[in-house]
Amino acid sequence: MPWDRNQMAARAAKELHDGYYVNLGIGIPTLVANHIPDGVEVTLQSENGMLGIGPFPYEGEEDPDLINAGKQTISELPSTSYFGSSDSFAMIRGGHIDLTVLGAMEVAENGDIANWMIPGKMIKGMGGAMDLVAGVKKIIVVMDHCAKDGSPKFIPNCTLPLTGTNVVDMIITDLCVFQRTDHDSQFRLIELAPNVNAEDVAAKTTAQYGVAV
Confidence of residue 197 (pLDDT cuts 50, 70, 90): very high
Maximal C-alpha separation, the chain: 49
pLDDT for 127 beyond 80:
no
131-140 pLDDT, tens per residue?
Answer: 999 999 999 9
pLDDT for 113 beyond 90:
yes
Q: What is the domain class of 5-211 according to CATH?
A: alpha beta
d(CA 78, CA 149): 45
51-73 pLDDT, tens per residue?
Answer: 999 888 888 989 988 988 778 89
Confidence of residue 152 (pLDDT cuts 50, 70, 90): very high
pLDDT at 146: 98
Catalytic residue among 47, 61, 109, 199: 47
pLDDT at 134: 95
3-state secondary structure at position 177: strand
pTM of the model: 0.94
pLDDT at 70: 78
pLDDT for 123 beyond 90:
no
Mean pLDDT of the chain: 93
Q: Is pLDDT larger for residue 71 or for residue 197?
A: 197
What are the angstrom distances between the C-alpha of 61 and each of 35, 54, 57, 158?
21, 13, 6, 42
Q: Any residues with CB less than 8 A from the CB of 63 and at least 6 apart, and which?
A: 57, 73, 75
Is residue 47 annotated as a catalytic residue, yes or no? Answer: yes
